[in-house]
Amino acid sequence: MTDLPHVANWVDGAYTRASPASIAVVNPATELPVATIDATPRDVVDAIVTRSQQQFASGAWSHAEASDRFAVLVKAAALLRSNLAEFVELEVRQTGRPVREMQTQLARVPEWLEYFAGLARVHEGAVTPFKGPVVNTLTRLPIGVVAQITPWNHPLLIATKKIGAALAAGNTVIVKPSELAPLSVLKLGELFQTAGLPDGTLQIICGYGRDTGKFLCENAHLARIDLTGGLATYRAIAPVAAYNMIPMTAELGGKAPVCIFPSMGSDMEQAVKAALFASFIASGQTCVTGSRLLVHADIYDEFVALLLLRTKALRVGDPTDPETQIGAVINQASVERCSAFVSRAVEDGGKILCGGKPSERKGFFFEPTLIETHSKSDLSCNEVFGPVIAILKCTSEEDIIAVANGTDFALGASVWTRDFTQAHRVAEKIDAGVVWVNGHHLNDPSSPWGGFRQSGIGKENGREAYESYTKVKSTVLNYGVSPAWFDDKAENARYG
């Protein structure tokens, strides 16, 4: 491992080694290490938080004009767009996702920086109605040092979402990317420096979540924690954050239903393509993977027959090959988790229609898998985070809605129908933070993203995300109300 490049933390405007300890980053498609990163200990984490506080207090960014923040973020977007090929290569190498996916996804990432740059430039305060000759102004101010815990499945996209919103609002940011796929996020330090961001305003630190991530979230001087991860991670962080009175945004798991109604029978190819896209993009490793296909009985047999043909024809292989459609899952643990879900699904009475086992090729690959099951099975209710998809036959619109709402997750859902009235009716009744009609995985910087129940709290994207990184200051200006609470006569005055 000594021949591997080491990518140190990005701290105070330079790559800075945290300690002699290191962690290998492995290419999931080859099982070979590609680089090492820092394993940041607690004392270094705490020192970085302290320096970030000092940077925030200096006002170099927190007091910068909105037009200056706009200019830096727009330049960062332009730099990212002009260097996309390098970022795509890093994303493919560290995640095992096909290059065709990453080229498409990363081409849109600069839009998030441009959106939040624009929001910083145009976001306005307010003057509230106030009784009497008084003016009450509301001003949004940056909150301080924010910690962002980002995942491995969309490393650059999710980190950029969070960083863009927090920086636009004037905060100092500490990002802890997943140790499984941190390389593209680490490159952002140099990019923002070149764009003109003051050194120390964006810190990027690496390490295991159970260590470095824990150390960061336990620091009492944070102003906010923004987590994208699993429910177990949230439950580990939330009590400490609550004790320290640190607010949190948490984007957690999902079990998105893809609801397919009889009117789609007029274009079965389109319905099947919709299901394939919803279910198998990123090898099913997204929080809104269409992991439950809820198909109306009237078209079930025809739909499943065509879906099987198309699923078996998916091209699984080398992520660097532009023809590859399905890449690797992130590691061996993910392969084993997929296998365990398949085994439990069979125990629950499920029927494997295709796939169901690891690929025989080198690397962490799992076959695209379809399993016919019922709504109470483990596979129907819990998140796999892999290409193992439940198919359920539903008897009516009401049945589809009930099954769609029948898990503890409520992040995303899609409704596929040619019936305009039905589309509105069903979308209204599905309990999820994002409901697509005749679409899936559609995302935009302006569109709030976040779920209900065990899928999380708070929002990414949109004005909601920007405002979550601000605090509201109320300034009350009295221009005519005379103090009249106490008698002016000295003998009626009270002291002490």
Both structure tokens of 437: 């009609």
Of 101, 251, 383, 397, the catalytic one is 251
Q: Identify whether the C-beta of residue 175 lies closer than 8 Å to the C-beta of residue 185.
A: yes
- State yes or no: is 367 an active-site residue: no
Those residues with Cβ within 8 angstroms of residue 30's Cβ, 6 or more apart along the chain or in another chain: 362, 363
Q: Is the dihedral of CA 460, 464, 465, 471 positive or negative?
A: negative
> In whole angstroms, what is the distance from residue 358 CA to residue 455 CA?
28
Q: Identify whether the C-beta of residue 399 lies closer than 8 Å to the C-beta of residue 429.
A: no
> In whole angstroms, what is the distance from residue 471 CA to residue 469 CA?
7
- State yes or no: is 464 an active-site residue: no
Torsion of CA 280, 284, 287, 288, to 10 degrees: 20
Of 206, 217, 287, 338, the catalytic one is 287
> In whole angstroms, what is the distance from residue 387 CA to residue 256 CA?
13
Of 162, 176, 255, 459, the catalytic one is 162
- State yes or no: is 287 an active-site residue: yes
Of 101, 383, 397, 460, the catalytic one is 460
Picking from 286, 289, 296, 306, the residue whose alpha carbon sits closest to that of residue 414 is 289
Q: What angle do CA 135, 137, 143 make, to 5 degrees?
A: 155
CA atoms within 13 A on the CB side of 232: 3
- State yes or no: is 360 an active-site residue: no
Those residues with Cβ within 8 angstroms of residue 474's Cβ, 6 or more apart along the chain or in another chain: 128, 136, 137, 138
Picking from 225, 229, 251, the residue whose alpha carbon sits closest to that of residue 240 is 225
Q: Which residues are catalytically annotated?
A: 162, 251, 287, 460
